[in-house]
């Protein structure tokens, strides 16, 4: 190993962070377990330790400063390495968030990459008191998935066949709502004027679903004139038009491409962002498809069963393709809370949901990043089990307005 020339040697005021196997007394030494230099993909679980609410991964190495490989741990979570080899999917073919390893290590409860970064910063400050910790900043981004733009109308025969379904289930309340909508009242799911008014202060992202290819897709297609007018209205208010690829597209590049083209023809804008319907995606294929069809913003980093941090970080970041072993141009945008997660999976009341939001927002105050929240237009309708959730949304929006 050669000697560094004088001009490249560390100076007295320099901060030294050494990542490797050789210990340097004057710097902060992070142990290297060798994971980042291995370009192969192998199914394994890194040695881990969870104690005092602090997770450590790759704990098979240590130095006087740190007893785990911080950089390997961060890379492992950011790339969703653990999902590449998972074969136990949920009922919709989604990655299993209830995996024993993930639950044992509280993977999604904290933004571990941010936690470890702060841990490293504290180590640096301890050795270099003159170093100033960067100030955290917050940005806010609301996003909306438009699965069902209408509850009763603009569904063709299916909209009228709903009367028989209501009768079969003796759901007279729903039948009355359906009748009122068909005779001129505004459809309850058409909450777009309300959403646009509440989001005037910030540019939001609207993900439109427009293909009915399975029983899990909506029944209103991009061909519907009323749906088209909503898309145009959202665009004219300055919000981003994004694609919500249908249920079966996560393994189908051509379907994603076709749906993207259909939405672009309606909106007359280039669609650069997407989030899969039901959050069904496959690594690395779906994200590779995105780039190949001209989508460069991925919003699939959402926990389904919890609120939290799917990729362990509070800010957007470029996706690293493990199969190709390269950094991509695709940007991952983590979302910390989804309305459906709070209500359907976590079984929270509206009041409990607001407290869950407060908990996550307070964490973002500590670490900074994006306050990225996901709502559906129908969850603001005050019907079909969503009674009271509109008030939660209003309270959250008012809170966010005061925070910026």
90, part of any domain: yes
State how beta strands 138-146 and 240-243 pair.
Answer: unpaired
CB–CB of 290/296 below 8 Å?
yes
Q: In this structure, is residue 177 part of a structural domain?
A: no
Does residue 373 have a pLDDT over 60? yes
User: What pLDDT, on the 0 to 100 scale, is given for residue 333?
Assistant: 98
pLDDT of 6 above 70: no
pLDDT at 365: 93
Residue 159 has pLDDT above 70, yes or no: no
For 182-220, what is each residue's pLDDT tens digit?
Answer: 777 899 999 999 999 999 989 999 999 999 889 999 889
Spatial CA neighbour of 381 closest among 175, 221, 149, 210: 149
Q: Which residue has the tokens 């665009």?
A: 235
Please check whether residues 107 and 144 belong to one and the same domain.
Answer: no
Domain hosting 51: range is 12-127
Kindly report, residue by residue over 51-89, the tens digit of the pLDDT: 999 999 999 999 989 999 999 999 999 999 999 999 999
Do 54 and 103 fall into the same domain? Answer: yes
Give the model's pLDDT for residue 1: 45
On whether both 237 and 344 belong to a single domain, the answer is: yes
* pLDDT above 70: percentage of residues in the chain: 92
Q: What confidence tier does 175 reach under pLDDT thresholds 50, 70, 90?
A: confident
Confidence check: pLDDT of 146 > 50: yes
- The span from the CA of 266 to the CA of 286, in Å, is 24
Residues 146 and 122 grouped into a single domain: no
Q: How many CB atoms lie within 10 A of CB 347?
A: 8
Total domains present in the chain: 2
DSSP conformation class of 341: I
In this structure, the answer to whether residues 79 and 213 fall within a common structural domain is: no
Per-residue model confidence as pLDDT tens digits over 237-256: 999 999 999 999 999 999 99
Please give the Cα distance from 249 to 255 (Å, whole number). Answer: 6
Give the three-class secondary structure for 92.
coil
SS3 state at 17: strand
pLDDT at 160: 66
pLDDT of residue 312: 97
Q: What is the pLDDT of residue 172?
A: 61
pLDDT above 70: residue 11: no
Instruction: Indicate the residue among 93, 127, 161 that finishes a domain.
Output: 127
Nearest residue to 214 (alpha-carbon basis) of 147, 287, 131: 147
Statement to judge: residues 71 and 197 lie in one domain = no
pLDDT, tens digit (0-9, with 9 covering 90-100), for 22-49: 777 778 999 999 999 999 999 999 999 9
pLDDT at 278 over 80: yes
Note whether residue 327 is domain-resident.
yes
What average pLDDT score do residues 314-326 get?
A: 97
On whether both 68 and 213 belong to a single domain, the answer is no
In a domain, 47, yes or no: yes
- Residue 26 is predicted with a pLDDT of 76
Judge if 193 and 232 occupy the same domain: yes
Instruction: State residue 56's pLDDT score.
Output: 98
Tell me whether residue 6 is in a domain. Answer: no
Q: Are residues 236 and 371 both part of a single domain? A: yes
348/278 same-domain check: yes
Assigned domain for 38 exists: yes
DSSP state of 343: I
| 142 and 105, same domain (yes or no) | no
194's tokens: 């309300």
Torsion of CA 189, 308, 81, 134, to 10 degrees: 120
Q: Residues of the chain with pLDDT > 90: what percent?
A: 80
85 in the same domain as 198: no
Mean pLDDT of 331-340: 98
Residue at 242 is within a domain: yes
Asked whether residue 324 is assigned to any structural domain, the reply reads yes
Q: Which of 172-181, 304-313, 391-400 has the lowest mean pLDDT?
A: 172-181
Answer whether residue 92 shows pLDDT above 60: yes
């Amino acid at each position: 190993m050669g000697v560094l020339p004088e001009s490249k040697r560390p100076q007295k005021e320099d901060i030294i962070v050494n990542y490797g196997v050789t210990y340097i007394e004057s710097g902060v030494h992070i142990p290297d377990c060798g994971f980042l230099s291995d370009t192969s993909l192998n199914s394994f679980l890194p040695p881990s330790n969870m104690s005092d609410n602090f997770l450590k991964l790759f704990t098979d190495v240590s130095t006087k400063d740190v007893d785990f490989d911080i950089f390997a741990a961060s890379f492992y979570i950011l790339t969703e390495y653990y999902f590449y080899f998972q074969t136990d999917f949920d009922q919709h073919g989604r990655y299993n968030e209830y995996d024993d390893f993930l639950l044992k290590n509280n993977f999604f409860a904290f933004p571990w990459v941010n936690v470890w970064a702060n841990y490293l910063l504290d180590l640096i400050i301890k050795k270099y008191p003159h170093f100033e910790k960067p100030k955290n900043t917050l940005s806010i981004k609301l996003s909306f998935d438009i699965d069902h733009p209408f509850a009763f109308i603009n569904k063709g025969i299916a909209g009228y066949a709903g009367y028989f379904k209501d009768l079969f289930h003796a759901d007279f309340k729903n039948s009355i709502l359906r009748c009122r909508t068909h005779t001129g009242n505004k459809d309850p799911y058409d909450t777009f004027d309300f959403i646009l008014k509440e989001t005037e202060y910030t540019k939001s992202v609207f993900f439109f679903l427009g293909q009915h290819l399975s029983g899990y897709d909506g029944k209103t297609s991009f061909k519907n004139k009323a749906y088209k007018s909503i898309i145009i209205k959202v665009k004219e208010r300055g919000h981003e038009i994004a694609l919500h690829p249908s249920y079966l597209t996560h393994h189908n590049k051509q379907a994603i491409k076709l749906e993207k083209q259909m939405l672009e023809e309606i909106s007359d804008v280039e669609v650069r962002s997407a989030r899969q319907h039901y959050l069904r995606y496959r690594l690395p294929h779906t994200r590779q498809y995105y780039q190949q069809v001209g989508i460069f913003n991925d919003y699939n980093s959402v926990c389904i069963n919890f609120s939290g941090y799917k990729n362990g970080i509070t800010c957007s970041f470029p996706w690293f393709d493990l199969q190709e072993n390269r950094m991509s141009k695709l940007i991952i945008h983590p979302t910390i809370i989804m309305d459906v997660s709070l209500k359907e999976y976590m079984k929270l009341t509206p009041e409990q949901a607001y407290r869950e939001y407060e908990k996550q927002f307070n964490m973002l105050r500590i670490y900074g990043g994006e306050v990225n929240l996901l709502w559906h237009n129908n969850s603001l309708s005050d019907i079909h089990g969503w009674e009271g959730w509109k008030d939660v949304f209003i309270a959250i929006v008012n809170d966010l307005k005061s925070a910026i």
